[in-house]
Structures are given as structure tokens and as C-alpha cells.
């Protein structure tokens, strides 16, 4: 009799524990996800502007308990330089005139990524692995100005003897490549989760347009190349619906 009671108690205990085991074979009620990259906002709030902020919006659709397809639209500021007389460098000077070199650059990309991700379903925290194909445009706008300043008794003023020279070049590239992603997901509730994600990428760049304001300043024509980018860890917030 005692053995029967112990066996019954064990079966009840196993039944209760089974209720708390994650269900791996069921889809959640909310199959759609909208996500946004919080990294630029987080870094700015810490008073440290990111060197190359990336703004991303993601849509995901869950097809299996452990599988989603995803589409990401991203805009990345790869470099932005805008010098003035206080930050430019002196390239020529005389007793009465100083000539400054003022450089500027604006490099950015706009891309679409289509891919998929895998994870362990119905858990409060899990690793997330993904892969995406990338297609987009990279825009590189560079230029400089040589600005002469004449010194008189009142200080530096625009030089009456030399003219300012401006040079600009714009090169656009078509991007085609892929990225992989490794992340850690933290589920807040059935509607909200956060993902810390690392997304290295490789892309082939093909020049599609070139502009030079002065052809004599052109060093060499743009060429196709392969670039690899190893970005830092990014933070995404995702809303389920």
C-alpha cells in the first residue's frame, strides 16, 4: 500500500512539473514582429555619439515554433566629416597669407536585407542565429576646399590676392552580399522582447556612378571591391502582434 501511495505521489509530481516544461511544438498567438535598432539612441543618451550609427527597422513573420523569416531596411552613416577653419590644417603660409585645407566627407549606405532566424521556442531567454542576403546602395561624397586668409591689423580676413578652390567627388556603389547574426533574446512578455545582436557582413561593391568637379584632381577611377564589416553589438527592441 505504501508503495502504491509513493508511486501515485511521484506521478502527480511529474505531472505538475510537466506543466512548466516549455512547449516546443506550438506557435504563439502573435506571429508578427516589428523591431527597431536602439543602439544609436542608447549611445547618444550616454553622451557618446557612435562613429557609424546604423538605423534599422525589421519585420519578422514566424512560420515554425523555432523559425522566422525577416526583412530589414537599414540606413548607416559610415563617416561624416565637416571641418572648418578651427579644425582644418595649414597647407601654405607667407608673411601676410595663410591657406587652410578644409576637408569634408559623407559616406552612407541604404540597404534591404532578406533572411531568416532560428531559436529555441517558448523560453524567457534564448540564443538567436540568423542569415540575410543584402542588396543596397553605398554613397560616398568627398571634397575639400583651400581657403586663403589674409592677415592685416584687424586679424585674418578673406585674402584679396587668392581665390578659394573647391573640389567635390561623388561615387555610388551597388552592394550585394550577406550577413550572419548571433544574438541573445530576452523575453519581457508575450508582446515585447529585446535582442543583443552581433552582425558581421561581407559585400561586393560595384561602382555605378561617378562625379568629379575637377577631372584633373581625380586620382584613379572607382573599382569594384569586397568589403568586410565587423560591427559592434547592437540592441534591438521587438514588438509582437
In a domain, 45, yes or no: yes
Exposed/middle/buried for residue 14 (C-beta within 10 Å: 0-12, 13-18, 19+) = exposed
In a domain, 2, yes or no: no
Q: Which domain holds residue 110?
A: 27-240
* Tens digits of pLDDT across the chain (241 residues): 444 433 444 344 444 344 444 556 788 889 999 999 999 888 777 766 656 789 999 999 999 999 999 999 999 998 888 887 777 888 887 777 888 888 889 999 999 999 999 999 989 999 999 999 999 999 999 988 888 888 776 777 776 666 788 889 999 999 999 999 999 999 999 999 999 999 999 999 999 999 998 877 777 788 999 999 988 899 999 999 9
pTM over cut 0.85: no
Catalogue the long-range contacts made by 36-41 (C-beta closer than 8 Å, 24 or more residues apart).
36/236, 36/237, 37/74, 37/234, 37/235, 37/236, 38/235, 38/236, 38/237, 39/234, 39/235
In a domain, 13, yes or no: no
Tell me how many domains the chain contains: 1
In a domain, 6, yes or no: no
DSSP state of 22: P
In a domain, 224, yes or no: yes
In a domain, 32, yes or no: yes
Q: How far apart are CA 134 and CA 84, in angstroms?
A: 36
In a domain, 20, yes or no: no
**What are the start-end ranges of the H helices in the chain?**
2-18, 39-45
CATH code of residue 196: 2.40.160
In a domain, 15, yes or no: no
Amino acid at each position: 500500500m505504501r508503495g502504491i501511495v509513493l508511486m501515485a505521489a511521484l506521478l502527480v509530481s511529474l505531472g505538475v512539473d510537466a506543466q512548466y516544461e516549455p512547449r516546443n511544438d506550438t506557435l504563439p498567438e502573435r506571429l508578427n514582429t516589428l523591431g527597431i535598432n536602439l543602439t544609436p539612441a542608447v549611445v547618444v543618451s550616454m553622451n557618446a555619439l557612435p562613429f557609424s550609427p546604423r538605423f534599422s527597422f525589421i519585420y519578422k513573420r514566424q512560420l515554425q515554433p523555432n523559425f522566422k523569416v525577416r526583412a530589414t531596411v537599414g540606413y548607416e552613416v559610415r563617416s561624416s566629416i565637416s571641418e572648418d577653419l578651427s579644425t582644418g590644417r595649414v597647407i601654405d603660409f607667407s608673411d601676410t597669407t595663410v591657406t587652410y585645407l578644409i576637408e569634408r566627407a559623407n559616406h552612407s549606405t541604404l540597404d534591404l536585407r532578406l533572411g531568416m532566424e532560428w531559436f529555441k521556442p517558448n523560453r524567457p531567454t534564448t540564443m538567436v542565429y540568423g542569415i540575410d542576403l543584402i542588396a543596397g546602395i553605398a554613397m560616398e561624397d568627398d571634397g575639400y576646399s583651400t581657403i586663403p586668409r589674409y592677415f592685416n591689423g584687424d586679424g585674418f580676413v578673406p585674402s584679396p590676392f587668392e581665390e578659394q578652390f573647391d573640389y567635390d567627388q561623388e561615387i555610388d556603389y551597388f552592394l550585394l552580399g550577406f550577413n550572419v547574426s548571433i544574438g541573445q533574446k530576452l523575453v519581457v512578455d508575450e508582446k515585447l522582447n529585446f535582442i543583443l545582436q552581433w552582425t558581421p557582413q561581407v559585400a561586393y561593391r560595384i561602382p555605378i556612378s561617378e562625379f568629379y568637379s575637377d577631372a584633373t584632381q581625380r586620382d584613379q577611377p572607382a573599382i569594384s571591391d569586397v568589403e568586410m564589416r565587423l560591427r559592434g553589438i547592437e540592441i534591438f527592441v521587438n514588438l509582437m502582434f
